[in-house]
Structures are given as structure tokens and as C-alpha cells.
């Protein structure tokens, strides 16, 4: 009877050992399969990473090119705007044409005959009124006015940008037509003042006024760029 029990116990032990070995084998197989799947996943992620890095580099190059293009365009726009404001570019737009002619009246006895002819200050008054009314570009007898332009008497003629011209004078101004016209024709303004001496002044409104570019020199010999200093604006 004891031998039977011992045999059963031996069989049970053998079964347990075999069961343990089978379990270990199955787990090892699963681990191997799992390791294979993980390796494939790593390869897939690596490929995606390389592709993403290449796409990133391409986007960086594209962004750099776009930034350069934008900077070039901005630089061109700034240069164009500076040239436009400096009067170095011919312009066209709505505005007015003011024509002035010496008076045809004869000076009375004792009167100064110079009161019946156009002087530099007469042109300056017209130009100042147009500028105050928002004129964006002005010319006198084809001479573009800029910051360094002068209007002065030169004997029997007037000099604009060191170019002499005689009456009639044609002043072209680009801007809001209503504001420009009202600035010249307002009561007590320059038109009424010149009319007292018979000086002829005519204002024509136009939707296409052409103002030429400044043709003189714009170089600076003595003035150079400098940084703003504190207290200079006070």
C-alpha cells in the first residue's frame, strides 16, 4: 500500500515538474514574440523620426527663404516710400492746378509798380496754404518742391531750385481737391489778397495732376547721421 502511494507521489512530482517546464517554455516563447514586436515598433518609430527630422529641416529652409523674401520686400517698400516722400519719384493723383499771372492793371500815380507783379512771397503764400491743406506733392513750373527747395527773386524772374522762370506760374498740387481749393479761395485768403492788385489767380480741379520728380542734387556734404541725444528736443 505504501508503494502505491509512493508511486502516485512520484507521478505527481513528475507532472508538476513537466507542468512547470511547459509553463516556462510558453512564457519564453511569448517573451520572444513580444521582443520581436517591440523591435519592429522601434524600427517603425525610428523611420518616422528620420522622416520628421527631414521634414523639419525642409521647413526650416523654407521659413528662412520666406523671411529673406519678406525682408527684401519690406526693404524695397521702405526704399520706395522714402523715395516717394523725398520727392525723387514722379507722382500723379487728384489735386489742383493754380495759375498765376502778373496784373494787367496800370499802376496809379504814386503807387509802387512792383505791387502789380508776382513776387517770391506771393508764391510762398500759395505753397504754404496748399501744404497746410494737406498737399502731398507740389511743383512750380515743373520744379518739384522738397525740403531744401528755395523760392526767391532773381531779377525780373523767380528762381525755384536754382532754376529761373517767369510768369505765368503754374503750381501743381496733389491732395484732397476740396481742401486744396478751399485753402486758396477762402475768404481773406491768398486769392483775395492778390486780387486787390489785379494779379490773376485761377484754380483748376483735376483728377489727374502730374507732379515731376526732383531733379537736383540730394547729397549732403556737412550733415551726417547721428544718434539722438537727451535734452536736444527740449
Q: Which string of DSSP letters, residue by residue, matches the chain?
A: -HHHHHHHHHHHHHHHHHHHHHHHHHHHHHHHHHHHHHHHHHHHHHHHHHHHHHHHHHHHHHHHHHHHHHHHHHHHHHHHHHHHHTT-S-EEEEEEEEEEE---SPPPTTS-GGGGS--HHHHHHHHHHHHHTT-SEEEETTEEP-TT--EEEETTEEEETTEEE-SSEEEEEES-HHHHHHHHHSTTSHHHHHHTTT-EEEEEEEEEEEEPPP-S----SS-------TTTT-
221: in domain: no
When pLDDT is averaged across residues 16-27 and rounded to a whole number, the result is 57
Residue 66 sits in the same domain as residue 171: no
Residue ending a domain, among 61, 85, 109, is 85
| Ramachandran quadrant class, 147 (left: phi over 0; alpha: psi -120 to 50; beta: rest) | alpha
pTM of the model: 0.64
Please indicate, yes or no, whether residues 96 and 70 belong to a single structural domain of this protein: no
Residues 66 and 113 in one domain: no
Q: What percent of the chain has pLDDT over 70?
A: 74
Number of domains in the chain: 2
β pairing state of 143-144 and 157-160: unpaired
**For residue 216, what is its C-alpha cell?**
537736383
Last residue of a domain, one of 85, 111, 142: 85
Residue 1 maps to a domain: yes
Q: Is residue 159 part of a domain?
A: yes
Backbone angles phi, psi at 71, to 5 degrees: -65, -40
Of the ranges 59-63, 66-70, 199-203, which one carries the lowest mean pLDDT score? Answer: 66-70
What's the CATH number where 169 sits? 3.30.70.1880
- Whether 79 and 130 map to the same domain: the answer is no
Are residues 42 and 110 located together in one domain of the fold?
A: no
Q: Is residue 148 part of a domain?
A: yes
> Are 104 and 201 in a shared domain?
yes
Cell numbers for 139, please give them.
511743383
Query: CA–CA separation, 73 vs 69, rounded Å?
Result: 6
59 lies in the same domain as 142: no
Domain that holds residue 43: 1-85
Looking at the structure, do residues 71 and 176 belong to the same domain, yes or no? no
- With pLDDT > 90 as the criterion, what percentage of the chain qualifies? 40
**Does 101 lie in the same domain as 48?**
no
pLDDT greater at residue 225 or residue 167: 167
Residues 100 and 192 reside in one and the same domain:
yes
Mean pLDDT, rounded, for 88-95: 94
Tell me which of 85, 109, 126 is where a domain ends.
Answer: 85
Please indicate whether residue 78 or residue 91 has the higher confidence score (pLDDT).
Answer: 91
Shared domain for 75 and 150, answered yes or no, is no
* Residue 200 pLDDT > 80: yes
Amino acid at each position: 500500500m505504501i508503494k502505491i502511494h509512493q508511486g502516485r507521489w512520484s507521478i505527481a512530482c513528475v507532472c508538476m515538474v513537466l507542468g512547470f517546464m511547459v509553463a516556462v517554455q510558453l512564457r519564453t516563447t511569448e517573451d520572444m514574440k513580444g521582443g520581436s514586436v517591440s523591435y519592429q515598433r522601434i524600427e517603425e518609430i525610428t523611420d518616422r523620426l528620420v522622416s520628421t527630422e527631414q521634414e523639419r529641416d525642409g521647413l526650416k529652409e523654407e521659413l528662412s527663404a520666406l523671411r529673406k523674401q519678406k525682408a527684401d520686400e519690406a526693404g524695397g517698400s521702405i526704399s520706395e516710400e522714402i523715395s516717394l516722400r523725398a520727392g525723387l519719384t514722379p507722382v500723379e493723383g487728384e489735386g489742383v492746378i493754380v495759375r498765376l499771372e502778373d496784373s494787367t492793371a496800370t499802376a496809379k500815380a504814386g503807387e509802387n509798380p512792383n505791387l502789380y507783379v508776382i513776387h517770391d512771397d506771393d508764391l510762398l503764400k500759395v505753397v504754404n496754404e496748399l501744404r497746410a491743406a494737406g498737399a502731398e506733392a507740389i511743383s512750380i513750373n515743373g520744379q518739384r518742391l522738397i525740403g531744401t527747395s528755395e523760392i526767391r527773386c532773381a531779377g525780373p524772374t523767380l528762381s525755384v531750385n536754382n532754376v529761373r522762370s517767369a510768369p505765368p506760374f503754374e503750381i501743381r498740387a496733389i491732395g484732397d481737391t476740396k481742401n486744396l481749393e478751399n485753402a486758396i479761395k477762402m475768404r481773406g485768403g491768398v486769392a483775395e489778397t492778390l486780387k486787390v492788385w489785379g494779379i490773376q489767380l485761377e484754380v483748376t480741379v483735376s483728377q489727374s495732376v502730374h507732379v515731376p520728380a526732383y531733379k537736383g542734387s540730394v547729397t549732403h556734404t556737412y550733415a551726417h547721421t547721428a544718434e539722438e541725444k537727451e535734452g536736444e528736443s527740449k
